[in-house]
Amino acid sequence: MSSERFTSEIYMSNQTKLSVIMPAYNSEKWIANAIQSILNQTFKDFEFIIIDDASTDNTLTIIKDLQKIDPRITILENTINSGVSVSRNRGIEISNGQFIACMDSDDWSYPDRFEKQLAVMEANSGVMICGSSIEICSANLTRLNLRKYPLMDRDIRKKIFKYSPFAHPSTMFRAEALKTAKGYDENLTFVEDYDLYFRLGKQGLFANIPDVLHKLRMHSTSLSQATGKKVERQTLQIRKKAIFEYGYRMTMWDKLYFIIQSMSLYILPYRIKFWLFNWLRSLSK
């Protein structure tokens, strides 16, 4: 993790209310739609930092064309493909918002997303991260499934060792907490957000909004479909890290779940486990 890049000077004289950070790599099919969903938010006072991760298609050109229309867009260009953790950290480093919202370059946010999340964050100073319910969608954003998450801090913590309790593209963070946590671990390839939640949870409270505020697009290049086994291994590593480095405690059921999941790595095909996981997750809400 490149912790040295984060300054302790969180609040600047020209600070805006919100910074939106979106990494992008070869997203030419979806990115205009994703950007427009942010520019169309009912809450307007934000800077929109987009990090092009050395795309080889027309992604950067599309971003630059939209920047000409809306000056809230700031573009960072990676000279080499560096991954989402490095890209997000670059955005966090230059951000000037009191709050930081995440966005993915192939998703879509409802217009009132920021307005509703900011209302929660400003009314509850102890909340470090706020997510929402989301719609799992097809490539053309047709809803396939509704995914809800536990709402209150106590309930979120009960679930955090079983599954990631936030939809990362729908999350909003308190900037001071995010920078104190030194951003995303750049050594993690797939579940850097899950690790970050554990670290933020040591600073304050978790929260989710029951409203559906985000559409997550599933398509042939979605990380969750392409790299299941690697995601599982990193997830198990992060749970161990949460115990031995971050000071969390597992319940007896968390430990049993951890053992079963560890064993299943070598027994069940990922597709079957993915279906089982979603079924068990729906029962545990």
Q: For the segment 161-177, what is each residue's pLDDT rounded down to a tens digit?
A: 999 999 999 999 999 99
CB-based contacts of 178, cutoff 8 Å, min separation 6? 92, 100, 196, 200
CB-based contacts of 255, cutoff 8 Å, min separation 6? none
**CA–CA separation, 20 and 172 (whole Å):** 9
CB-based contacts of 125, cutoff 8 Å, min separation 6? none
Region 51-55: mean pLDDT is: 97
214 by DSSP, 3-state: which?
strand
Q: Is 250's pLDDT higher than 50? A: yes
| Chain centre distance of CA 226 | 18
CB-based contacts of 259, cutoff 8 Å, min separation 6? none
Q: At what angle do helices 192-200 and 84-94 cross, to 10 degrees?
A: 50
pLDDT tens profile 98-126: 999 999 999 999 999 999 999 999 999 99
User: Any idea which of 21-25, 117-121, 277-281 has the lowest mean pLDDT?
Assistant: 277-281
> Where does the pLDDT of residue 11 fall: very low under 50, low under 70, confident under 90, or very high at 90 and above?
very low
Report yes or no on whether pTM surpasses 0.75. yes
Residue that the structure tokens 């040295």 belong to: 4
Residue 8: what pLDDT? 41
Region 204-229: mean pLDDT is: 80
- C-alpha distances (whole Å) from 240 to each of 15, 207, 233, 247 are 38, 23, 11, 10
> Where does the pLDDT of residue 212 fall: very low under 50, low under 70, confident under 90, or very high at 90 and above?
very high
